[in-house]
Structure 1
């Protein structure tokens, strides 16, 4: 049964940096509870750290594959051919062995060794953005002038996407993720994004470059369909800039709101890497819980869940679980937060995690020491997007 959705849904509500207290109440009481998704359909929400790990680590009982007859409430009818085309190459929506077949083709491009070779170029990009902000003078918007351009430039260069197209794909990405828009409108935007990527794939087929798309075509072109290349590239483009830009904007804002933590990072460059890990845990940028379908009747935290049900694994709730980490609501950059769930868990652990970590480490350090380059103070104002408030807001440096 589908009910009228209440936006934002419970699992995505926040109080400034903190997840809604409802998540804590569920975690402390049942651990699992039926709630409504953003579309109004009932889902089982998983909130405890160990249970979230168990769900995400068990692809046999908790699958990405929709059970027969399942449809998204409000979504227009799609043919089997169109559904297969939209699903192809989308690593987030595939189970092993198909997921592993595609992921293995990409793994070499996201190793720590490969990322280290990219480091000098990322340093150049970060320095160029900071210099441009300083040259332009106050005020500067931390999101528009820094947090968004850096990961966008990096992923465009990695994928072979023309940077001059960034305004279009960033606009589409923002709307695709806006849950206040009707599902039909968001699906139409996804189709537009796939058509854009289809053009890039066609050009890369004819003349593969020295980028990830070119590598996939040279090394695996006969194994991959155009639909799969479109799905892979589209996912990397969206995930490669949206989450990292939000982390950069909110991470700097969080440090500004915690001057003792900011001072600890500013005075000790070695503190930046553990600070990034703690910020990843504390902020949990991916607010929309990770969906899975039960393939059989399961029991989670003593709650029986029938087969064919939709389960949401909440990363923010898991990362704030006191059974996982002491004083979970406290931002403490000294602890490094090993074992957090910000990048997921199991076979779907974020492929681009090494890149995201490196971007955040390189970009955060000069931000924290920005007062050494020019005097500034922080202002933050909410930026409304539909029924929601943008998580990044607008931070003006003066």
Structure 2
């Protein structure tokens, strides 16, 4: 069963719900009747195939910072321009990412259920990132390259066996895109193999935004509970991976909440996003035989350039971590009040002609952009696993296309099961035919 079939309410839905609840607790309103997101607010989370909805480009051209009205006078601002997004993500002093205070007194969802670098401000953010950064340097990651290559060979064997048993057709998402980053992250964290089967079912639902507020309110993430348990067990008997190493280095100086938050961020940032990129990248490369040929037969520099363009073009993390304005301010022509939420559309920023150059809505494997893409975010909250994701893509895509040079989608792209409303874009299944 695909891990994407599981639906567990996640932290992203809970922080939004908590904000709304703060406005309505005394109004006696039935939460079960409230839609999770108004229709306009869904636009940054929706796509036509791999493309953002056209409203994103229209908003960026007209007003790169647009007000989105949520229920009960709660205000969010969506930033779509590259320069504006980069400025928002760079700022250390104007905005806060900390959302723990929003969960005080809201039932079983508490501040202990929130953690990780994405929802933490300095100085705690600085201390936690310093703990985990050494594991994600290029020098440390280099040791994983032969392990990933061997793992890719095994999953490609699995893909071929599955196709042989099904008239030449197999699900690339299930057999390749998901197991590669999942197993790599589990190895990196040092999760026991007995734990992995349980953990495999808890990955993607945290990013699903299709359910109403009633489903989100009062829910505690099963994934977070699992990681709390893993941390507690390894505190007694540290394992060989990152969790165990941090416990050996930090001991009681790091709490179970903060360590589980770090592990949670590593897993969710390194599994679901990379799985989406492998599957979606394969789809894009199948649109033109010259794309696949370039990856299959090109140089290392060719592959690197294609991977960067795929990251820019697909931008699977559609919206960056929310920022909360610390004070009233004038921002890009808008009056922002303290407490307002600033949401940065990474898809909008990456398709901005000011950054991508000519024809930014198209995939161009030879593109040399005018400035760097923001697929991994920017500033102090830039994805710490960016280089690991790049490494996996640079290994998986060439090996896949060399092993199966005639690989093709089994159904038209329009019939694929793309996610309809998700902070992390992806595809549920990817049936491919390995040979004609």
Task: Tell me the TM-score normalized by structure 2.
Answer: 0.82
Note the alpha carbon deviations across 1:155-214, whole angstroms, 9 max, x for none. 011111234444533432322222112345446664322221122112211221221001
C-alpha separation in 2, matches of 1:66 and 1:93: 6
- What's 1:9 paired with? 42
Correspondence list, 1:1-398, <5 A: 4=35, 5-6=37-38, 9-36=42-69, 41-66=74-99, 77-78=106-107, 83-88=110-115, 90-136=116-162, 137=164, 138-183=168-213, 185-186=215-216, 190-270=220-300, 271-326=302-357, 327-335=359-367, 337=369, 339-372=372-405, 375-380=406-411, 381-383=415-417, 391-398=426-433
C-alpha separation in 2, matches of 1:168 and 1:101: 31
Note the alpha carbon deviations across 1:266-323, whole angstroms, 9 max, x for none. 2213211111111000000012343111112233322221222111111000000011
SS in structure 2 opposite 1:318? helix
Note the alpha carbon deviations across 1:229-279, whole angstroms, 9 max, x for none. 121112212222111100100011111123332222222132111111110
Does structure 1 conserve the Cα–Cα contact (< 8 Å) formed by 2:269 and 2:383?
no
Does structure 2 conserve the Cα–Cα contact (< 8 Å) formed by 1:265 and 1:275?
yes
SS in structure 2 opposite 1:394? coil
SS in structure 1 opposite 2:199? helix
Note the alpha carbon deviations across 1:74-98, whole angstroms, 9 max, x for none. x98148xx6331234x110011111
Alpha-carbon offset, residue 347 of structure 1:
0.3
C-alpha separation in 1, matches of 2:385 and 2:224: 21
Cα 1:282/1:312, change in 2 over 3 Å: same
SS in structure 2 opposite 1:343? coil
Structure 2 runs not aligned, ≥5 long: 1-22, 25-33
C-alpha separation in 1, matches of 2:315 and 2:92: 22
Alpha-carbon offset, residue 36 of structure 1:
4.5
C-alpha separation in 2, matches of 1:386 and 1:28: 25
Does structure 1 conserve the Cα–Cα contact (< 8 Å) formed by 2:119 and 2:321?
no
SS in structure 2 opposite 1:323? helix
Larger CA deviation: 300-309 vs 36-45: 36-45
Q: What root-mean-square deviation, in Å, do the aligned CA atoms of Structure 1 and Structure 2 show? A: 2.7
Cα 1:329/1:224, change in 2 over 3 Å: same
